């Protein structure tokens, strides 16, 4: 593996931006500060740039658009994931947790696609530039999936388990009649057939709490972090806490987020919410939650570019200084996922590093990306200096 020296820019080191060169050896950060170009086969001129830890995305499902760009129009999963990997890297995301939803409904989020996605991520991982994991979004009414999920947990095929209940929150919600039609279109069923399926699945509601408890116990035993999705009330958050679920993902109300933070738990909200200035669903403002200390992680949700843009928007709006804003998209999600080897620029850490041109406050630009010590993306080739004695290893994103 080729050694790399980054020099001339400002590095985010120990919570501050400092002028410090950074050396990468054998896929790890060997040194922050000190070093010379003689030590590396590749030197990168980072003058005018910020050197930052790679972005860690706990929840991203934009890959679904590559699988089904239009309702009923499918593309091969491997093609979709490889293209999504290029998008991830180009947006500075070096660790990605694909939000794979396994629902009781057929189609895009049905059984066949869930199995195919888990298989594909596992099989493609060596070819992907981003360190790619499965964040299984388990629809809790999908009771027939329990045995398989237990196997996936025990065999380490999934890295995060989220408990979703779109049946109660969306499908059976009389205030959202349009959601049924949207979901029916996604499944490929007629509305009449979809309604019949809903009645059948909802009829097993009494079995759901016990199934959640069993899966939570298995996850705890296997050290697989868990998230509860769309917690509506503090009581609901406390119920999941009792099961060992320590991450509140997209809490619906401020009181619910406050309940989680008061208990020292992580709260995840969408980076697109910050970039767009509010939630597309009309729920709480992520920027307000960050300002109040009630959002500790931002995720790409449905739009990969949003994470980089959100961090710099928080800075531009004087909500947080850059080191604190960057924690929301790097150190904090890494900690929530149990990844202790990344999220910070420090000796011995995995060399996931991005170089950013932040000259335009609201339009930061990725100039280069290093993932696991490999240069996987470069936007300005004239910043590279190659030692003639060694052949650089430059992986294409």
Residue 242 and residue 161 share a domain? yes
* Structure token digits, residue 202: 């909802």
Domain carrying residue 42 = 4-53+343-386
Q: Are residues 27 and 125 in the same domain?
A: no
pTM of the model: 0.91
Which whole number is the average pLDDT over 95-116?
Answer: 93
CA pair distance 230, 183, nearest whole angstrom: 18
Do 316 and 184 share a domain, yes or no? yes
Q: From CA 5, how far away is CA 208, in angstroms rounded?
A: 53
Q: Is the pLDDT of residue 396 over 50?
A: no
201-to-8, 247, 248, 314 alpha-carbon distances in Å: 59, 27, 25, 42
244 and 372 inside one domain: no
The total domain count for the chain is: 2
Residue 370, domain CATH: 2.30.40.10
Residue 370 lies in a domain: yes
> 385 vs 30, 125, 378, CA distance in Å?
19, 30, 13
Tell me the pLDDT tens digit for each residue of 51-68.
Answer: 999 999 999 999 999 998
Looking at the fold, whether 48 and 121 belong to one and the same domain comes out as no
d(CA 297, CA 281): 19
Tell me the per-residue pLDDT of 191-233, one tens digit each, with 9 for 90 and over.
888 888 888 998 999 999 999 999 999 999 999 999 999 999 9
pLDDT of residue 108: 83
Least confident residue range of 10-19, 55-64, 175-184: 175-184
State the Cα–Cα distance between residues 160 and 71, nearest whole angstrom. Answer: 28
- pLDDT band for position 168 (50/70/90)? confident
Mean per-residue pLDDT for 117-146? 97
Can you give the pLDDT at residue 177?
A: 65
The chain-wide mean pLDDT, for the chain, equals 91
Q: Looking at the structure, do residues 208 and 249 belong to the same domain, yes or no?
A: yes
Residue 394 domain-assigned (yes or no): no
Residue by residue, DSSP assigns 79-99 as: HHHHHHHHHHHHTTEEEEEEE
Does 224 share its domain with 293?
A: yes
pLDDT, one tens digit per residue, over 268-305 is 999 999 999 877 666 789 999 999 999 999 999 999 99
Report residue 185's pLDDT band, with 50, 70 and 90 as the boundaries. Answer: confident
Q: Are 42 and 147 members of one domain?
A: no
Determine the 3-state secondary structure of 286 from DSSP: helix
Together in a domain, 167 and 275: yes
Which residue, among 56, 65, 117, 138, has the nearest Cα to 303 in the 3D structure?
65
| Domain presence at residue 33 | yes
pLDDT value of residue 206: 95
Q: CATH no. for residue 223?
A: 3.20.20.140
Using CB atoms within 10 Å of the CB of residue 172, give its burial: 0 to 12 exposed, 13 to 18 middle, 19+ buried: middle
Whether 393 has a pLDDT exceeding 70, the answer reads: no
Check residue 184 and give its pLDDT.
76
Compute the average pLDDT of residues 362-383.
96
């Amino acid at each position: 593996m080729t050694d790399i020296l980054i020099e001339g820019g400002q590095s985010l080191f120990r919570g501050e931006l400092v002028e410090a060169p950074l050396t990468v050896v054998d896929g790890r950060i060997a040194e922050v500060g000190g070093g010379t170009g003689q030590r590396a086969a590749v030197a990168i001129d980072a003058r005018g740039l910020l050197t930052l830890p790679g972005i860690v995305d706990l929840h991203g499902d934009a890959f679904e658009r590559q699988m089904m760009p239009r309702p009923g129009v499918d593309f091969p999963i491997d093609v979709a994931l490889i293209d999504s990997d290029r998008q991830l890297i180009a947006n500075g995301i070096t660790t990605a947790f694909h939000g794979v939803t396994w629902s009781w409904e057929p189609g895009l989020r049905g059984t066949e696609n869930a199995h195919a996605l888990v298989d594909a991520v596992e099989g493609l991982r060596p070819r992907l530039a981003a360190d790619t994991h499965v964040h299984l979004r388990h629809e809790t009414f999908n009771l027939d999936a329990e045995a398989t999920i237990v196997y996936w947990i025990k065999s380490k095929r999934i890295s995060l388990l989220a408990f979703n209940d779109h049946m109660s929150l969306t499908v059976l919600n009389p205030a959202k009649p349009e959601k049924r039609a949207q979901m029916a279109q996604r499944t490929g069923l007629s509305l009449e057939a979809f309604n019949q399926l809903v009645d059948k699945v909802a009829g097993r509601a009494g079995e759901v709490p016990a199934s959640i408890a069993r899966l939570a116990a298995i996850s705890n035993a296997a050290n697989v972090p868990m998230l509860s999705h769309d917690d509506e009330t503090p009581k609901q958050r406390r119920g999941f806490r009792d099961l060992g679920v320590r991450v509140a993902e997209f809490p619906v109300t401020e009181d619910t987020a406050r309940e989680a933070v008061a208990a020292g738990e992580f709260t995840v909200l969408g980076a697109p919410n910050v970039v767009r200035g509010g939630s597309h669903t009309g729920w709480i403002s992520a920027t307000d939650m960050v300002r109040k200390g009630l959002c500790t992680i931002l995720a790409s949700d449905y739009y990969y570019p949003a994470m980089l843009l959100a961090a710099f928007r928080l800075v531009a709006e004087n909500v947080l200084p850059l080191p604190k804003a960057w924690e929301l998209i790097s150190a904090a999600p890494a900690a929530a996922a149990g990844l202790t080897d990344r999220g910070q620029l420090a000796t011995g850490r995995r060399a996931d590093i991005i170089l950013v041109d932040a000259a335009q406050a609201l339009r930061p630009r990725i100039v280069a990306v290093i993932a696991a010590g490999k240069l996987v993306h470069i936007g300005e080739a004239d910043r590279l200096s190659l030692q003639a004695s060694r052949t650089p290893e430059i992986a294409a994103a």
